[in-house]
Chains A and B, each alone.
Chain A
Amino acid sequence: MSSDFEPILMRNVGVAKAADLQVYEARGGYQGIRKALQMSPEELIDEVKKANLRGRGGAGFPAGMKWSFLPKERKVTYLCVNADESEPPTFNNRVLMESDPHQLLEGIMIAGYATRATVAYIYMRGEFTEPFHILQRALNQAYAAGYFGKKILGSDFSMECYIHRGAGAYVCGEETGLIESLEGKRGWPRIKPPFPAVAGLFAKPTVVNNVETLCCLPHIVLRGAAWFTAIGPQGSFGPKLFCVSGPVNRPGCFEESMNITVKDLIYGSKFAQGMIGNKAVKGVFPGGLSMGVLTGDELEMRMDFDSPRKFGLLGLGTAALVVFNEDTDIRDVLLNVTRFYAMESCGQCTQCREGTGWMYKIAQRISLGAGRREDLDILVETTRNMGMMPGLSICGLPDGAAFPIRTLVEKFRAEFEQHIVRQEPGKVERVLRVLN
């Protein structure tokens, strides 16, 4: 593990008044956009492609490539900033927006220039009251200083920027759900194609990027793609935020290269500093909930874009780790996870709506001490019959439900079975009578 990592995205965290324009500028802020404006949008996109900046919102898609899907001929382009941060238990974007809002605004300007965007919409989740006020204040300052609006910094580039506050729905973090919601509708994800790059917001070419992805841009422009690719393992370049929660000694948000392992993040002295009361780790969801679970024996996993797949997980996700300790009843974890997806499925697709609902019902029964051995098989089978991967849904929410539920059941199967074996005789029948 490299212990000499210098904070980049979080370099202004803890600096007094870092959210003020003057402080940000005094610390080298808004130099990236000045340099970017000296380049052509094409040169800028090339630089970001060379840096191989992969999206931090969950899917890890290369930003430069996404931008080049925009049609050559276009009059209007929208940039949507995904600040919905709805994946539990993730707070990386929150930290970035609260402690260094101008860094995000500068990233938005650079992405806006590269994509020739005319308007940027920041879609921020409704629960974020504090980050909203901080960002709105920063945006007002940036407007007053000529960083947004017409002919930015004397160039030919003009862009407006607005903050939209969400109204509470997980699925609005999905990029086309977000777009529908911005249009004033239910946040129902759209069938793709067409992709947003071709027909997104108000049917116009649209790019959606995550807050942390955009925050990388000023640094890439200033220091160059080669500097960026020198950080972290092959294919997972650049700085990354990792937040750790659960019963650890020092929960919080930490910045490192993607060389770091789950174990380092939980036990490292610069990170979460181990478990409260020296309890053993029973399991960790390392990428937000939706990527799946690791057991306490799998903590060597490296937190990069590619390693999670070797552990049966969907991907790096939001790189938000939630740890649970040996005292946790695995049935409670299953109940908590299944409940979330059952509540948040938007209901458009049958397999997702029914599958998440039934899995929650089964988990309820198991947690009431009325599980059956075959329930475990039914859960696993259900997870294999929903989602985009088998081509059965419009968006990725059910894939994100399938991975944590399947990995929980498969990796902790012995424990579930133990509970089921120890249940009172006759309980299954009694509970079923009450529930049905």
Chain B
Amino acid sequence: MEVTKPAGCTCEEATEEELLARLDEVLTEYRAKPGALIPVLQMAQGLFGYLPEVALKRVALGLNKSFSEVAGVVSFYSFFSTIPRGQHVVRVCLGTACYVRGGKRVLDTIKQKLKIDVGETTADHLFTLEVTRCFGACGLAPAIMIDSDVHHRVKPNRIESVLGKYRSEVVVAERSA
């Protein structure tokens, strides 16, 4: 059910028309289902990487909802983004367990390494940095999530190697392309 671009995929990007066509297929499937808006938005974000206005308008039209209702829902949930994000979203937990085990230092180190602030994307569009509330990895704090991978017990001196894995995936993808 989940539609996500493979991590670090550098193969030819689908055009906006192609993506909208795929969104239309999703909309046809979900049109009659009650409570479809959020799953549809999750899939739309999977397709586009974020939620551009054209996609939201298409969703509103397809589910017979006003644009403001759709936009209101999008702005409510922290997973939805209306601005383009990097290929990988780095989420640093600032929940209390991670906080008392040095989550803030982890965040500062990542900011330094990526040379961006929270909410920003690196110039090469590889990483977007976000902070998040506790996601239940507290036993192995401090924890961060990169895309849907959870990294446990992240020490500031291990950050480079954790991020490096996502950098080199691109290199691998480029080579095999």
Contact = CB atoms under 8 A, between A and B. Distances in A.
B163 interface: no
Contacts of B61: none
A187 B78 CA distance: 12
Interface stretch (B21-29, B32-40, B108-116, B169-177): B32-40
Contacts, number: 127
A185 B97 CA distance: 31
Contacts of B145: 127
Contacts of A340: 95-96, 133
Given A167-B79, A184-B73, A185-B73, A127 B99 contact: no
A416 B12 CA distance: 57
Given A186-B72, A245-B141, A202 B34 contact: yes
A170 B133 contact: yes
A76 to B, nearest CB: 12
Contacts of B150: 129-130
Given A183-B34, A184-B36, A251 B133 contact: no
A169 B39 contact: no
A332 interface: yes
Contacts of A244: 139
Contacts of B100: 246-247, 322-325, 328, 333
B138 A91 contact: yes
Contact of A186 (B36, B41, B73, B148): B73
Given A88-B138, A91-B137, A245-B138, A168 B77 contact: yes
A212 interface: no
A285 B96 CA distance: 10
A302 interface: no
A185 B65 CA distance: 11
A337 B94 contact: no
Given A164-B39, A167-B41, A243-B138, A88 B97 contact: yes
Nearest to A88: B134
B140 interface: yes
A93 B135 CA distance: 12
A105 interface: no
Contacts of B101: 246-247
A82 interface: no
Contacts of A243: 138-139
Contacts of A181: 38
A333 B100 CA distance: 8
A167 B138 contact: no
A90 B150 CA distance: 16
A129 B150 CA distance: 9
Interface in A95-129: 125-129
A358 B61 CA distance: 40
Interface string B106-141: 000000000000000000000000001111111111
Given A126-B79, A187-B76, A337-B96, A344 B34 contact: no
B36 to A, nearest CB: 6
B66 to A, nearest CB: 12
Interface string A82-93: 000111111101
A165 interface: yes
B97 A322 contact: yes
A419 to B, nearest CB: 18
Contact of B37 (A93, A125, A170, A184): A184
A328 B102 CA distance: 11
Contacts of A170: 133
A90 B100 CA distance: 15
A411 interface: no
B80 interface: yes
Contacts of A87: 134
Interface string B70-85: 0011001111100000
Interface in A262-313: 285, 289
A336 B136 contact: no
Contacts of A202: 34-35
Contacts of A346: 76
Nearest to B76: A186
B137 to A, nearest CB: 7
A322 B101 CA distance: 11
Which of the listed residues A166, A183, A245, A346 has the most CB atoms from chain B within 10 Å of its own CB?
Answer: A245
A333 B95 CA distance: 11
11 contacts: A88-B96, A89-B97, A89-B134, A185-B37, A185-B69, A186-B72, A285-B96, A322-B138, A336-B94, A336-B96, A343-B133
Given A167-B42, A168-B78, A181-B38, 15 more contacts: A125-B136, A128-B136, A164-B38, A167-B79, A184-B35, A186-B77, A187-B77, A202-B34, A245-B97, A246-B101, A252-B139, A322-B96, A325-B100, A333-B100, A344-B133
